[in-house]
Structure 1
Amino acid sequence: MQPQSADGASRDPTKVRRNLTYDQCYYHPAPLTRVHGQDVRTRSVRRQARIARREAALPSSRTAVSTPASSGFLGSTSYLSVFRETPRLSKAPDRSLCDEFEQWRTKLEYAAARVVRLASAIPFYLEQIRWYYDKGRFTVIPAPIVLDSLSQTVAHMESHPWNVTGNWASIYSDLMAATKSPLEISPNTSARQFNSLFTGPHLRFEFIGFIFAMAGLSVQGRFPGRQSLELGNGEKMDTDAFTTEMVLACHHCIEVCKQNSHVNDLTIWMRYMHILLATEVLGEPSERVYSLFGDLTSDIYAMGLHHQPSDHVPFFLAETRKRMLAVSHRTDKNLSTAMGRPPRLPHRYCDEALPLDLPDESLFEEKDSLERFLQRLDDGGWNRDGKFYPATLMRMRHILSNLREQVLELSLGRSTHPNYTKDILATYKFSQTIFNRIPSRYMYTSSCWKEMDAIECLARMIVRLEHLFSVLQLQRIRCQENSEATSDLLDTCLEVLSIVVDLTGQYNIHEIKKQFAWIYLLYGIPASGVLATELYRCTLSNQPLPLSKPRSEVIRTLSFLVSWVRNTVTEAQPSVMVGACLELNNVIFKLLDDALNYRPPLGSGQEDARLRSVDTGQSFEISIQGTRGDLPSDVFNIGLASGESLSWLDDLDFMQTSSGLSLM
């Protein structure tokens, strides 16, 4: 029964503001900015009974009340531990949305009406998601499944309009009933038949939640944070509010689906995309995101995706499942690195079959046409045409996640077991050969920016940086066993920085600008830190840098990069990625400044050598002055007298988990 006004008219609970009990819902024009007050007047017993009956008909959440994360254990590979253990670095803003999540959890009538209202904006979501796929190199679910099913949903809603104000409860009930029905799939199920299982009159919460997450990611990538959006259902909000609302609404859909005993492909898609969006909105790999990925892993195992034969589902769905497992593997290793915790989806327990390197559209072709596409693949499953498809990127990153997992075992595992040294050597040899599994035509080169579109170049670059980062981390471990490996480590660091310098030349491109901070934070900072500390150590000891490149090249590269970041990257909005990027860059800046301005004691014999190096171009002054005095170079216990050039990476071994392209 709908809430009634004095004249008997139905009222939308998302717009009821007065005379509510504490347990009732309320509406605020900016519902994400504050939570309902505590003290309100009590209503009649009759009114309470009506609400109790309605609340009983809605799903009850079994999720525990979320409290602000007091971040649990963070291991040696976690950059977040730096901010916990170094008070002089500023804390990231609290973006855990605990109050908002709690409101959606407890105000069930509000949540139900809100989800229905947001779902009515599906035409707007279709427009944004179509843009996302048009740009896509980082898409996961094949485009025809998503876009065709969305188009069918829009057509059905246009022919059967929703009355979201007067009939939201009935719509919600229909969605709930459809969600309770298992998806019946056979090897002969066509794409159209598959789409019909969750569109039109069979619209389900799994699909709605998936669309919420996809729309949030699309808008986040397309518009600035304060861009005003009109959803087409009478609502207007800016990009930040919209993406936050999508996180909350998708989370509600997940909670509804958890009450059913079955898990299906849509559930996996929804959970994965929700994790990507939640990381974007929350701004860091938080405890909530870590928990969400744990739930996704449980569902993957429950469905048997880690070891599932593909002969009982249609070809397009079998390939989609391979893609989902591939990206989940990579996300697992990235999240493990960011949190410093063991992986939860180890390769040794999973079917290692890679998704075929096919364009999305080919997965839905008839048998004869599909066979022609399959004949274009080589023996390794790569397309011979050199085309760079979403599946191409997924294959590349999945291959490299094997190396990351082995490096994590060395970093996070016990270093006292008898085979530890042998494992280091074996993993190092593996790191030198694994990249050969990727065809050379897909490798990153600096010239690609002149030959290809920016998104494809960025994708190639990220793959190369992911590989170099694993090698860097492995070489750091080798240095702890054998100091002669320092030369290899420094050469790798310089290679990382040369790639990041390439990216600075593309900073005016919108997609590059949005991704630069996390790329520099997770790859550039560790490499810069190693080079700067080793440069300082060698300066103090009057020793040559143990690497194959000239000292002047190291100084020029470091000086340019840290100065460029200080000049160019700005924190337009609170973001743990941008904030950490700028603060840690200042640490590198100060350390490099100390190294270049170091004057040896008189009579030490080093002064003449320093002057000679200046005369021959072996020094390069940083162009920006005014280093912050509150960020001394020993902020990570690499004090000016310590001579320690590597130990700080125990706190600064970053890896992407956040957002945007980082988790895609």
Structure 2
Amino acid sequence: MFTQACLETIGLVLVGQGEGVIDAKDISRSFFYNSRQPLLTTPHTTLEEYSAQFNRVNGRWESICLGLIAISRATMGFRQPTRPFPTEAQLRHIRRLTMHFADRCIDICLSMDCLNDLQLILQYENFILHSLVDGYESWRRLGDLSSSLFALGYHQQLESSGPIPPFLRSLRQAAFASSYSADKNVSIFLGRPPRISRKFCHFRQLSLDAYYSYTWAPDSKLDLFADARWAALCAILKEEIIVELFGEEQFDKRVEKARHIQTTAELQWSSLPQHFRLEMPMKSYDRPAAELDLMLGAKLKHLHVLFLQHLALVRRVSEPDTQLRNIAQEILGLVVEAILFKDHLVHSGTSLTWKVVYYGLAAAGVTCLSLLQNQQPAEHEAVASPKVLRDLGVLVAEIEFGTLVYKEDANYALLAGATQTIKNILDSISRSRLSQRRLTVQAPDAAVQDDPELGSTSWDLWGTGNLQDFDTNFWLMLAEHPLTFNT
């Protein structure tokens, strides 16, 4: 929304596209002066009038920061042979250098103790940038973001300073919704308590009552604002799952609560406008690349709620039931489809790598557990369907040999470890099926005995009712299962 104007400000002030030459100290002094000025609004202020307060001759540290974040993120969108840098190393250098400068700009802004809406947006965009570059190490940035959100009071009242223009209300709604959903996603992924708890937030403010309703206008526009609203609706259910399901010791009560959550999740999904829902292969849609990515994200968010809800109901995570297995396989299929279709997607908010790490690995983990636990021929054939094995194989191939992730990337170690384990499982299944076919040909009437070690109930990595986050420890423990040994 403000990116283009901020980039023009950088060109005007720093690159010298304006009239005359300005000394660096004068530029810095001007930025400090402007950044201390409040961003004034009335109920009738337009977006252009608002942005004029921090762009071009009114440039602030916030303007430079947003421009630097945009430049850093732009380096992730280049594909051969169109990118302006000949090597991946040069691209990474520019990415990290501009991110470092953006960090310094944010530090300067926050040090002046003049917190405003623009700085909140900067902190969210900076968190997203760090999540793309540093992976789960961006946890601290999310903490800074939540602190600013609370300091501004937007968790309780969006219009605490009086009536505001509609565009600013939409910005504040989206900023809170995006921060709230990101907090739930990162806490689930890392297995840490959420920082933004629903019990301390007023979701039923006058300005938010309709925003957090699952009722949508049929002609609603599919954009980042709609995506933020949908993410928050799913995040509310995720928090209920974390608190109400995984925190409930009595299984009967857990089942009752889970049934209510599932009903709400399915109602929310069915209430989405038809043009928001991904219900066919992505290549079947004649939609812009950015909209396709938003549709993919909406479907994955919905399936992830159902995934967590069913995960909370299994007696043992190492023994996933049919419903959980089916949801996991659907998520895995969607992630693999996105990987294969990646040249036709424009990533909005989160990258494809994050989708693979956050959704794909959890789904692949449950699928692998199903393959390991169902060793009887009939059960094994039902679980190890050709499509499941193909999806796992594609995931392995893309991580190992594709351009999805490089060794220098933050999430490479997690993806590489998971890939090796999946490879061993696939190799074991291939050898087992080949041996089974040979035994059937040589002795068709002989009963094939299962390996007692593989069917042993002593292999139990997790207790009952724990939220399994499928992180590095999960894959290390899963690698110790006898069927994952690549002998």
2:331 to 496, 499, 507: 496
Structure 1 residue 240: deviation in Å? 1.7
Q: CA deviation at 1:265?
A: 0.8
The alpha-carbon distance between structure 1 residues 491 and 187, as it changes in their structure 2 partners (threshold 3 A), is same
Within the alignment, does 1:407 sit opposite 2:241 as a pair?
yes
- Once residues 312 and 443 of structure 1 are traced to their aligned partners in structure 2, the CA distance between those partners, rounded to angstroms, is 35
Q: 1:332 to 1:611 in 2, by over 3 A?
A: farther
Contact 1:322 1:354 in 2 (8 A): no
On the 8 A contact 2:312/2:467 being kept in 1, the answer is no
CA contact (8 A) 1:340 1:412 kept: no
Distance in 1, matches of 2:265 and 2:147, equals 30
**Equivalent-residue separation in structure 2 for 1:610 and 1:537 (angstroms):** 27
- Which residues in structure 2 correspond to 1:207-246 (within 5 Å)? 207-222=63-78, 238-246=90-98
Report what 1:391 is aligned to.
225
Following superposition, the deviation at residue 479 of structure 1 comes to: 0.9
Letter in 1 for 2:26: S
Deviation for aligned residue 1:478: 0.7
Deviation at 1:570, TM superposition (A): 6.5
Instruction: Give the one of 459, 462, 483 matched to 2:294.
Output: 459
Counterpart pick for 1:290 among 139, 142, 153:
139
- 1:584 shift after superposition: 0.8
Residue identity in the other structure for 2:470: D
Indicate conservation of the 8 Å contact 2:319/2:370, yes or no. Answer: no
Whether the 8 Å CA contact 2:293–2:346 is kept in 1: the answer is: no
Number of the residue aligned with 1:423? 257
> How does 1:225-624 map onto structure 2 within 5 Å?
238-282=90-134, 284-286=135-137, 289-310=138-159, 312-352=163-203, 382-385=216-219, 387-409=221-243, 413=247, 415=249, 420=254, 422-450=256-284, 451-480=286-315, 486-509=321-344, 511=346, 515-539=351-375, 541-542=376-377, 544-545=379-380, 551-559=385-393, 561-562=395-396, 566=400, 568=402, 571-598=405-432, 608=440
Match of 2:470 in 1: 653
The separation in 2 between residues aligned to 1:542 and 1:223, in whole angstroms, is 45
Contact 1:326/1:398 (CA < 8 Å) preserved in 2?
Answer: yes
Contact 2:3–2:66, Cα closer than 8 Å, also in 1: no
Which digits, 9 at most, give the CA deviation of each residue in 1:227-250, with x for residues without a partner? Answer: 6569xxxxxx93322221222222
CA distance in structure 2 between the partners assigned to 1:353 and 1:160 by the alignment: 51
State the shift of 1:264 in Å. 0.5
**Structure 1, 460-469 or 639-648: larger mean CA deviation:** 639-648
CA contact (8 A) 2:230 2:298 kept: yes
Contact 2:189 2:358 in 1 (8 A): no
- 1:218/1:425 Cα in 2 relative to 1: closer, same or farther (>3 Å)? same
Mark the CA change 1:424 to 1:456 in structure 2 (over 3 Å): closer, same or farther.
Answer: same
- Offset at residue 497 of structure 1 (A): 2.4
| Aligned length in residues | 449
Q: Deviations over 1:352-409 (max 9, x none)?
A: 47999xxxxxxxxxxxxxxxxxxxx9x9774534642222222222221112222232
Q: Could you tell me whether the CA contact under 8 Å between 2:276 and 2:298 is conserved in 1?
A: no
Instruction: Using the TM superposition, name which of 147-156 and 391-400 deviates more.
Output: 147-156
- Identity over the aligned pairs, expressed in percent? 18
Could you tell me whether the CA contact under 8 Å between 2:365 and 2:470 is conserved in 1? no
After superposition, the Cα gap between the structure-2 partners of 1:214 and 1:352, relative to the gap in structure 1 and judged at 3 Å, is farther
Q: Distance in 2 between matches of 1:482 and 1:294?
A: 30
2:477 is matched with which residue? none
8 Å CA contact retained: 2:183, 2:194 = yes
Distance 1:537 1:504 in 2: 28
Give deviations 1:584-641, integer Å, cap 9, x for gaps: 1220121232234338999xxx9659998xxxxxxxxxxxxxxxxxxxxxxxxx9775
Aligned to 1:197: 53
Structure 2 distance, partners of 1:611, 1:558, is: 32
Q: Is the 8 A contact 2:146 2:196 kept in 1?
A: yes
Q: Which amino acid aligns with 1:322?
A: Q
Amino acid at match of 1:211: G
Which residue matches 1:184?
A: 40
- The CA distance in 1 between the partners of 2:414 and 2:326, in whole Å, is 25
Is the CA contact (8 Å cut-off) linking 2:222 and 2:294 kept in structure 1?
no
Deviation at 1:224, TM superposition (A): 7.0
Deviation at 1:208, TM superposition (A): 1.9
Query: Can you give the 5+ residue segments of structure 1 that lack an aligned partner in the other structure?
Result: 1-142, 231-236, 357-376, 613-637, 656-664
Shift of the alpha carbon at 1:294? 1.5
Amino acid at match of 2:4: L
RMSD of Structure 2 on Structure 1 (CA):
4.2
Contact 1:571 1:579 in 2 (8 A): no
- Alpha carbons of structure 1 residues 531 and 573: separation in structure 2 relative to 1, 3 Å: closer
Q: Name which structure has the greater RCO, CA cutoff 8 Å, separation 6+.
A: 1
Larger Rg: 1
Distance in 2, Cα, partners of 1:611 & 1:499: 41
User: Any stretches of 5+ residues in structure 2 without a counterpart?
Assistant: 445-452, 473-487
Q: Deviations over 1:242-290 (max 9, x none)?
A: 22122222222222222323310111011111111222232x211xx22
- Separation in 2, partners of 1:440, 1:182: 42
